[in-house]
Chains A and B, each alone.
Chain A
Amino acid sequence: MKTHKLPVNLTDEQIEDFGRELDAIRDEILDSRGERDRAYILKVIKTQRSMALGARVLIYASLFFLPAWGHALAVWPVMLTLLGLGTFMLGIAKILENMEIAHNVLHAQWDWMKDPEIQSNIWEWDTMSPSDRWMHSHNVVHHTWTNVLEKDLDVGYGIMRVTPMQRWKPAYLLQPVYFILLMLLFEEGVAFHEQAIDDHIKGKNKFADFKPLLKRIGYKIWRQVAKDYIAWPLAAALVAIPISFFVDFSPLAVFGIVAGANAIANVIRNIWAFMIIFCGHFPAGVHNFTLEQVEGETRARWYLRQLLGSCNIEGGKLFHVLSGNLSHQIEHHLFPDMCSNRYKEASPRVRALADRYGLPYNSASLFRQFGTTWLKNIRLAFPGGGEPYQRNPSQATSS
């Protein structure tokens, strides 16, 4: 008996069985959490904080090798190498903080430890979006309504056409440009990625309705800017002022160098986060859904939708950590509150289960996933657009 409208050849009973098997995997893994998981997250947090501090120190240290100092090692190549290293390290530290730590803590993945320091309700992360706002737009809206048109704000982020199910508008012609802009300014994009703002643009609510919200976001942005573009550069510039009487180098340039390094570190993080996140739901072969398809959805069907709507990226151990284990996007979407270090053991089990039920399991290299995301982006900038590169038409996006 088949009453669901999902693009798979399974009966309702089979889907419910599939759901029960996923529940069993979930329960088994959650039950086995213990000391080793706690040790893992504590280690990642400690590494991340040490790395961020080390990177800041390295950026400062590089200033001592500015050619104006006149000592033997004070030449541009040395200075720029150190500066580059510090900037890169800061970028990595920010990636680690956003992806493997904050994203997962805010998903309540570590709440089971009951550690008062590592709780979803108190954690604030190093990005412009306030944690609790993001928890609403991401954990609630996106994770509940994954890939459902008109419901999931992440479908196209309000500016892009990522499925032929979205009706074409001339504005979409520019979407390759939006794509790159969003990539560079991802943290700002996430901060303003709000249902209330989206509604306002569509004329559904008044400005006064979300003014307090804007104030909250504004405060968070101010503290982020104050840290990266005022506090750290200013401290260096203040030290440089007395030195500038003896060494011919402007404190303003020192300010610029430190601020610039921080900006680059933020952009490195933005590009990386954008790539990983866009590979989660937009590559070829991913499914989108209509409201009609999710009507009266059971937990098992919700599982099935998460599987059809998410994609994994293949890679090594370090790659998984740096991607916050969102390279296991399918497992993350099936079990959003499972601690991230366990996705790698859930992954082969989910994959085998999908195989057994004849369901697709979209997993490929970063190159393939990001490549097809781009292809789709360019193709869908124009009207129409099935998915020409789809090998198996029966699994194409249903509309």
Chain B
Amino acid sequence: MRQPVPTEHNTTPSIWSRLSTITDYFAWPLRTSHYLELVNPLWTTHKMQARVEKVWDETRDARTITLRPGLNWRGHRAGQHVRVGIPANGKHYTRTYTISSPPERNDDCFTITVKAIDKGTISHHIVRNIKVGDYLPIGLPQGDFYLPDANPIQPLFITAGSGITPAFSMISSLIAQERLPDTCHLHYSPHEFDVVLGKQLKEMDAKHSRYHLNLLYTREGKDQHFSEAQLAALCPDWKERDVYACGPPSLLEAIEACFEQAGCSRNLHIERFRAPFTEIPKDAVGGKVRFAQSGIDTEADSETPLLKVAEDAGMNPPHGCRMGICHTCNTTLVSGCVRDLRTGEVLNEAGSIVQTCICAAAGDCELDL
């Protein structure tokens, strides 16, 4: 494969990597790992995969998937997330999910808990179609939403919906380490029956006297939405606590505003699932185009191919047939939105491959050129 070998920092090459430099001569142009994959997909080093060991339905639309990662996995910290590659309808998608199990689990597996979100093709696909025995490409654990090594004096978790997952991992981890401090937890969900991981939460609440769980149902009669008054009532010392919040944008905004007003924003740690999406305009419009590598900004209308736009801006990007067949002009969309002039298809997912000779700006966009 022509991709660069990932550089390993501050480590001397392992025996395996030294050995594979030699064995790779036998496998060229592939790597030894491509043949090991035939024997066991978990032994690969050119990519990491995980085997689906168990699927468990938490609620009618949320599922916990137990994954056994490949050999070069490293442990995670409670609260971190992981990239998971999911093939759906023939296409490969990548999504990021919080690891819901604590690092102290002793079977070398971890779990992700996925809730099918409205119009979310991929989350629906995971909840409905992923089955035991599937192999999914995964990344390494990432993210800085985790507990400090020194115990938080007194944590307060405010979560909603599937935002429970990092908090669940953190609380289970503290319990597993037998060092759970006095913990207050406010969790919001529409109804009692759709609390993700609800059974486990209630069990923890019953078993551990230091864990105080407040389940709030927002669509069962009275208004239970987050407010400062409610917070003060359920957790009187909230201003002194380290706060970990995760949930939908509306909840996080309300929490941020509340803590800012009280002047204790620095206690607040927030994890966001999704970056806010920009609206795609109904009628095609042009916009500002940024060519990231060349550092050139320019304006484009909605019908000029981006290749032409780049050339008019004095660049000479790679191109071939100029009619969308040879793919020499392929580049990556860094951010923003472009339109395929042939199909009218709109590409707005960062990382999408853009054929500049047949794509035009659809609003502002940034290309890796």
Judge whether A292 is part of the interface by a CB distance below 8 angstroms.
no
Judge whether B56 is part of the interface by a CB distance below 8 angstroms.
no
Q: Can you add 18 more A-B contacts, CB < 8 Å, to A132-B2, A139-B328?
A: A49-B34, A53-B38, A107-B327, A112-B91, A113-B91, A113-B92, A117-B1, A120-B330, A121-B330, A122-B1, A122-B2, A124-B29, A136-B320, A139-B326, A144-B321, A224-B28, A227-B28, A231-B25
Is B25 in contact with A226, judged by CB distance below 8 angstroms? yes
Is B38 in contact with A131, judged by CB distance below 8 angstroms? no
Contacts A113-B90, A126-B29, A227-B25 given; does A50 touch B38 at CB 8 Å = yes
Judge whether B93 is part of the interface by a CB distance below 8 angstroms.
yes
Shortest beta-carbon distance, B315 to chain A, in Å? 19
Is A337 in contact with B92, judged by CB distance below 8 angstroms? no
Interface size class of A (residues with CB under 8 A): 35 or more
User: In the complex, which residues 65-94 of chain B have their Cβ closer than 8 Å to any Cβ of chain A?
Assistant: 85, 87-93
Question: Max chain B CB contacts within 10 Å: which of A34, A117, A139, A223?
Answer: A117
Would you call the interface of chain B mostly helix, strand, loop, or mixed?
A: loop
Interface size class of B (residues with CB under 8 A): 20 to 34
Q: Which residues of B contact A50 (CB under 8 A)?
A: 38
Judge whether A115 is part of the interface by a CB distance below 8 angstroms.
yes
The 5 listed contacts between A and B (C-beta, < 8 Å) are A112-B90, A116-B137, A120-B330, A122-B2, A139-B327
Bound form: Cα–Cα A213–B237 in Å: 70
Is B92 in contact with A34, judged by CB distance below 8 angstroms? no
Judge whether B343 is part of the interface by a CB distance below 8 angstroms.
yes
Residue of B nearest to A220 (CB): B29
Judge whether A235 is part of the interface by a CB distance below 8 angstroms.
yes
Is B2 in contact with A108, judged by CB distance below 8 angstroms? no
Judge whether B261 is part of the interface by a CB distance below 8 angstroms.
no
Judge whether B19 is part of the interface by a CB distance below 8 angstroms.
no
Is B26 in contact with A114, judged by CB distance below 8 angstroms? no
Shortest beta-carbon distance, A51 to chain B, in Å? 11
Q: Which residues of B contact A140 (CB under 8 A)?
A: 320-321, 326, 328
Is A114 in contact with B29, judged by CB distance below 8 angstroms? no
Q: Which residues of A contact B89 (CB under 8 A)?
A: 34-35
Q: Which residues of B contact A125 (CB under 8 A)?
A: 29
Is B38 in contact with A226, judged by CB distance below 8 angstroms? no
Bound form: Cα–Cα A227–B323 in Å: 38
Q: Mark B259-296, 1 if CB is under 8 A from A, else 0.
A: 00000000000000000000000000000000000000
Judge whether B35 is part of the interface by a CB distance below 8 angstroms.
yes
Question: Max chain A CB contacts within 10 Å: which of B85, B87, B323, B324?
Answer: B87
Is A337 in contact with B25, judged by CB distance below 8 angstroms? no
Q: Which residues of A contact B326 (CB under 8 A)?
A: 135, 139-140, 143-144, 336
User: In the complex, which residues 118-155 of chain A have their Cβ closer than 8 Å to any Cβ of chain B?
Assistant: 120-126, 131-132, 135-136, 139-140, 143-144
Is A143 in contact with B325, judged by CB distance below 8 angstroms? yes
Judge whether B3 is part of the interface by a CB distance below 8 angstroms.
yes
Is B327 in contact with A111, judged by CB distance below 8 angstroms? yes
Q: Mark B11-27, 1 if CB is under 8 A from A, else 0.
A: 00000000000000111
Bound form: Cα–Cα A163–B27 in Å: 41
When the two chains form the complex, which single residue of B3, B26, B91, B324 contacts A231, counting CB atoms closer than 8 Å?
A: B26
Question: Max chain B CB contacts within 10 Å: which of A49, A107, A131?
Answer: A49
Shortest beta-carbon distance, B65 to chain A, in Å? 19
Is B35 in contact with A116, judged by CB distance below 8 angstroms? no
Judge whether B258 is part of the interface by a CB distance below 8 angstroms.
no
When the two chains form the complex, which single residue of B28, B85, B90, B320 contacts A34, counting CB atoms closer than 8 Å?
A: B90
Judge whether B124 is part of the interface by a CB distance below 8 angstroms.
no
When the two chains form the complex, which single residue of B30, B88, B321 contacts A143, counting CB atoms closer than 8 Å?
A: B321
Shortest beta-carbon distance, B120 to chain A, in Å? 17
Judge whether B241 is part of the interface by a CB distance below 8 angstroms.
no
User: In the complex, which residues 297-353 of chain B have their Cβ closer than 8 Å to any Cβ of chain A?
Assistant: 320-321, 323-328, 330, 343, 352-353
